[in-house]
Amino acid sequence: MSNKNNYNYLLSDLTKLKGVGPKTANLLKKKRINNIFDLLWKLPKSYTDRSASSKIKDLRIGENQTVTIVPYKYNFPRIRNLPNKVFCKDETGNLDCIFFNSYEGYVKKILPIGKEITISGKVSYFGNKYQITNPKYISEDSTIIKTKHNQYSLTEGITEKIYNNIIKQIIKDLPNLKEWHSKKILEKFDNVSWNEAINELHKPENIGKFKSSFYKRLAFDEIFSSFLVHSEIRKKIKKIKKIEKTINLKEQNNLISKLEFDLTKDQKKTLLEINKDLESSTKMFRLLQGDVGSGKTIVALIAALNVINSDFQVAVMTPTEILARQHFSLAKKIFKSSINIKLLSSKSEYKEKKEIINDLSNKKINLVFGTHAIFQNKIKFKKLGLIIIDEQHKFGVNQRKKLSDKGGDNCDILLMSATPIPRTLTMTIYGDMDLSIIKEKPKLRKNVTTYSKLETKIDEILRFIKKEINFGNQVFWVCPLIDESKKIDHSSAIKKFEYLNKIFPNQVALLHGKTEQDEKETILGKFLNKRYKILVSTTIIEVGIDFPNANVIIIENANKFGLSQLHQLRGRVGRGNKQSTCILMFKSSLTENAKKRLNILKNSNDGFKISEEDMKLRGFGDILGFKQSGLKTFKLADPIHNSDLFILAEKEIKRIEKEDENIGKFKTLMKLYDQADIINDIV
C-alpha cells in the first residue's frame, strides 16, 4: 500500500527508512524514538546556514562555511595514520581538504580532479593555507548544500548529516492524512492541514515559532487526542449499568452530628456529588482532590457508611500499611461497633488473615483496610460496592481502567489525592474521571507559619527545637539525599541524624528510601507513639501520614525542591490543633527563581494557588515533585503557554459528547498520538 494515504507508515519500525539499520534504530530507541512518527517530534534546536557561499580568500577561520572548489591534485601517503589530502583551488586561492580514516577510492569518487564541487565544513588554517578536515557536506549539485541545515540534539553514533537525511526522507514520504477536524476548529489555525503543519515545523527558519498557526494546530492535536481517549473511557464506564445504592440520610446525618467538628461547605458539596453517583444507575469513577489537611478522609468514610447501609462491602486501599492502620483506627473511632471493620496487614498472623479472607467472601466484613494486597486474586468479596484508593497519585489511565474493571459492574470507584494541581494538568491527567475538589480547610485548623533561615543560623533553629520538645511537641527534619554526594552540595539524612543524635541522644530516628518496608513501618509507628522526638527523613514522608503531635518541620536546601513538593512536606505538620511551624533552610547563594519560590510558600497556604505558581516557574514536566506515570508527556503542547488550547479542546469534547458525534473520523488521530493499548477497546 502506498504511504501517501496510509497512517500505518508513520507507526512503522524505524528500519523501514532508507539508511536506518538495526544499529541506528537501536541508537534512536535510546532517545525514546520507537517509530517513524516519534521522529517528527525531535525538533531542531538550531540550524546552520550553508546557503551563502564564500570564496577561498574570504573564508573565516573556526566557522562552518560553504565554498565551491576544483580539486587539482591528490596526496595519499603510504605511511599509516597520516591523512589523505586533496589540493583544491578557486580563482581566489588554495584550500586543502583533509581526510582521516577515508579510503583512497572514496576520496577520488567524491572529489574528482577538475570537477567543480561544493563542500561545507569547519575552516582551519595550517602552513599558510586554508583547510577543511572531513567536510560534512560534499556534492557536485551545489543546491543540495547551499541550504539551511537543521541541528538536532543527537544521540551518540548518529551524525547531523544522517539525521537530516532521515527527517527529509520522512517529510518527503508523509502520507496525505484525511482531515479530522471540523471547519470551525480549522479556522482557529488559519486552515493549516496536518501535513502542511509538519512541513512548516521542520523548516529551519521556523525554529521557536511557538505562536504560529502550524505549531498551535499540532499542539491542539496532541491535547485533543488525549481528551478524546479520556472521553471514550468515561462513556464506556457510564454505559455500565449497576444496582443503585440507597442512601440512608438519617444514618448519615446521625454520624455527622456526632463528629467533633463541623463539615466545611466543600466537604458537604463533595458528599452530595458522591451520593448522587452512588444512587445513580451508572458506575461512579470519581477523583476526590483536596489540599493537605482539607478533610478528604472523613468524606470518604461517610460515603463508605452509606454504601454499607445499602447492603454492600467497601475496600479502602492505601500506599503504606501505617496509613491503612491510621484510617482503620479513625473508622473504628467514628463508627464505634455498628459495622464490622478489619485491617488486612502483612503483620497479621496467618490464622487471622485466613479468617479475614473467609469473612470477606461470606460478607461478614463490611469494611476492610489494607495496601494493594487487598486486591490479590485469592481475595474474593461477596458484594463489593465501593473501592476507595488513597494517595494513588501514580495511577496512570490504563491502571485506573483496570481498577474500574476489577470490582465488577456494581462497584463504584473513588480515588483520593492530596496533591493539588492546576486545572490544565487535571484535565490532562484525570480527564477520564469525574472530579470533586475540597479547597476549604476545617475552621479549627491553623495555617502553618513558614520561615526561611540561612543554614549558618542552625544554632537558632536548634534552640527553637529544644523549646518545642520541652513543650512535648515532635519535629520532622527533611534532607534531600541519603548519602553525601561530591557533585551536589546537600546535607545527607545520615549525617544529619548522626549530628542531631549527639545533641538529642536516643530521641532521634532516621528514615530514608533504602529503609526496609517493615523497619520503616516500625519507625513511623514509634514516632506516632512519641517514642522519638525528632524524625530525620528524606522526602518519603511527603504524603498521607497523619502525625497530630508533630508541629515543626525543617526542610534543608529548600531551594532545591519544587513549590508543590515543599507544600506537601509542609502538610505533614499542622494536623492537630496546635500552631505549627515550617522552617525552610537555604544557602546564601540563591537564584532569583529560588527566592520567588520561597516567598510564595511563605505567603500562602493554598495548595492550588501554589501549584499554579510552581507550574509557571518550573514548567509542568515534574510539577508534582516526583515522576508521575499517569502524566501525559506532550511533545509540543504546554499547559502554561497553551492553556487556551486546553480550554478549546475541552469545549470541543463537550460538544462531541452532547451531540453524540461518531468519533470514527478521529481514529487516525488517536492511533497516532496516543498509541495506547486502551484505545484498541474503544476505536
CB burial class (10 A; 0-12, 13-18, 19+) of residue 652? Answer: buried
Q: Are residues 550 and 468 in the same domain?
A: yes
* pLDDT (0 to 100) of residue 419: 75
* pLDDT (0 to 100) of residue 152: 62
* pLDDT (0 to 100) of residue 75: 94
- Measure Cα distances from 174 to 4, 68, 170, 207 in Å: 6, 33, 6, 20
428 found inside a domain: yes
Residue 274 has pLDDT above 80, yes or no: yes
CA distance 560 to 480: 8
Long-range contacts of 488-492 (CB under 8 A, 24+ apart): 489/587, 490/556, 490/557, 490/560, 491/556, 491/557
Q: Which residues span the domain enclosing 338?
A: 249-438
CA distance 567 to 177: 46
Per-residue pLDDT tens over the stretch 382-398: 899 999 988 655 555 66
What does the block give as the cell for 308? 454499607
Give, in degrees to the nearest 5, the angle at Cα 120 between 115 and 124.
Answer: 110
Q: CB 361: neighbour CB atoms within 10 A?
A: 14
Question: 615 versus 24: which is more confidently predicted?
Answer: 24
Nearest to 587 by CA among 602, 572, 598: 598
The β-bridge partners of 354 are none
Task: State what percent of residues in the chain have pLDDT above 70.
Answer: 87
**Single-letter residue type at 193:** S
Question: 151 versus 465: which is more confidently predicted?
Answer: 465
Query: Mean pLDDT over residues 15-28, rounded?
Result: 86
Give the pLDDT band of residue 278 (cuts 50, 70, 90).
very high
The separation between CA 536 and the C-alpha centre of its own chain, rounded to angstroms, equals 27
The β-bridge partners of 195 are none
Name the pairing type of β-strands 285-290 and 412-417. parallel
Query: Mean pLDDT over residues 181-198, rounded?
Result: 94
Q: From 438, 473, 506, give the residue that closes a domain.
A: 438
Query: Mean pLDDT over residues 156-170, rounded?
Result: 78
**Single-letter residue type at 313:** Q
Per-residue pLDDT tens over the stretch 213-234: 999 999 999 999 989 988 888 8
Which phi and psi (to 5°) does residue 377 adopt?
-60, -30
* pLDDT (0 to 100) of residue 407: 67
* pLDDT (0 to 100) of residue 627: 37
Residue 551 has pLDDT above 70, yes or no: yes
Give the pLDDT band of residue 90 (cuts 50, 70, 90).
very high
Give the pLDDT band of residue 249 (cuts 50, 70, 90).
very high
Which phi and psi (to 5°) does residue 5 adopt?
-130, 30
Range from 312-316, 476-480, 641-645 that averages highest in pLDDT = 312-316
* pLDDT (0 to 100) of residue 630: 41
* pLDDT (0 to 100) of residue 4: 54
Counting the structural domains of the chain, the total is 5
Query: Mean pLDDT over residues 81-107, rounded?
Result: 92
Say which range, 125-134, 225-234, 362-371, 610-619, has the weakest mean pLDDT: 610-619
* pLDDT (0 to 100) of residue 624: 43
* pLDDT (0 to 100) of residue 544: 55
Give the pLDDT band of residue 99 (cuts 50, 70, 90).
very high
Task: State what percent of residues in the chain have pLDDT above 90.
Answer: 33
SS3 196: helix
Question: 214 versus 338: which is more confidently predicted?
Answer: 214
* pLDDT (0 to 100) of residue 518: 76
Q: Are residues 275 and 337 in the same domain?
A: yes
Which residue's C-alpha cell is 557533585? 487
Q: From 406, 438, 470, give the residue that closes a domain.
A: 438
Q: Are residues 205 and 299 in the same domain?
A: no
229 found inside a domain: yes
CA distance 659 to 605: 42
510 found inside a domain: yes
640 found inside a domain: no
Q: Are residues 431 and 463 in the same domain?
A: no
User: How would DSSP label each residue in 486-507?
Assistant: SSS---BHHHHHHHHHHHSTT-
Nearest to 520 by CA among 367, 320, 269: 320
Average pLDDT of the chain? 83
Q: In what helix (H) or strand (E) does residue 569 lie, and over which residues does it extend?
A: helix 563-570
Q: Using a cut of 0.85, tell me whether the model's pTM lies above it.
A: no
CA distance 430 to 3: 35
Q: Are residues 374 and 455 in the same domain?
A: no
* pLDDT (0 to 100) of residue 173: 87
Across 530-656, the runs of DSSP E, i.e. the strands, are 534-537, 550-555, 581-586
Residue 495 has pLDDT above 80, yes or no: yes
* pLDDT (0 to 100) of residue 490: 46
Give the pLDDT band of residue 489 (cuts 50, 70, 90).
very low
**Single-letter residue type at 513:** G
Is the CB of residue 313 less than 8 Å from the CB of residue 360?
A: yes
* pLDDT (0 to 100) of residue 545: 64
641 found inside a domain: no
Q: Are residues 313 and 406 in the same domain?
A: yes
Q: Are residues 479 and 583 in the same domain?
A: yes
Q: Are residues 559 and 573 in the same domain?
A: yes
* pLDDT (0 to 100) of residue 319: 79
* pLDDT (0 to 100) of residue 256: 92
For residues 46-65, one letter each, b for 16 or more C-beta atoms within 10 angstroms of the residue's C-beta and e for the rest, the string is ebbebeeebebeebeeeebb
What does the block give as the cell for 507? 530521641
Question: 470 versus 421: which is more confidently predicted?
Answer: 470
Q: Are residues 288 and 429 in the same domain?
A: yes
* pLDDT (0 to 100) of residue 185: 94
Per-residue pLDDT tens over the stretch 56-85: 998 989 888 889 999 999 999 988 788 999
Q: Are residues 406 and 313 in the same domain?
A: yes
Residue 302 has pLDDT above 90, yes or no: yes
Cβ contacts of 404 within 8 Å, gap of 6 or more: 237, 283, 285, 413
What does the block give as the cell for 332? 473504628
Per-residue pLDDT tens over the stretch 607-666: 888 877 777 776 544 444 333 434 446 888 887 788 899 999 999 999 998 888 888 888
Axis crossing angle, helix 194-201 with helix 213-238, rounded to the nearest 10: 130
Q: What's 104's domain CATH number?
A: 2.40.50.140
Cβ contacts of 159 within 8 Å, gap of 6 or more: 136
**Single-letter residue type at 118:** T
Residue 102 has pLDDT above 50, yes or no: yes
Residue 184 has pLDDT above 60, yes or no: yes
Range from 158-167, 178-187, 535-544 that averages highest in pLDDT = 178-187
356 found inside a domain: yes
Q: Are residues 427 and 454 in the same domain?
A: no
Is the CB of residue 195 less than 8 Å from the CB of residue 174?
A: yes
Cβ contacts of 292 within 8 Å, gap of 6 or more: 418, 567, 568, 570, 571, 607
Residue 563 has pLDDT above 70, yes or no: yes
Residue 442 has pLDDT above 80, yes or no: no
Name the pairing type of β-strands 64-75 and 117-126. antiparallel
- Measure Cα distances from 347 to 329, 522, 641 in Å: 16, 11, 49
Per-residue pLDDT tens over the stretch 513-534: 777 777 887 888 888 888 999 9
The β-bridge partners of 65 are 121
Is the CB of residue 648 less than 8 Å from the CB of residue 220?
A: yes
Residue 485 has pLDDT above 60, yes or no: no
What does the block give as the cell for 35? 517509530
Question: 473 versus 626: which is more confidently predicted?
Answer: 473
329 found inside a domain: yes
Sign of CA dihedral 515, 516, 522, 528: positive
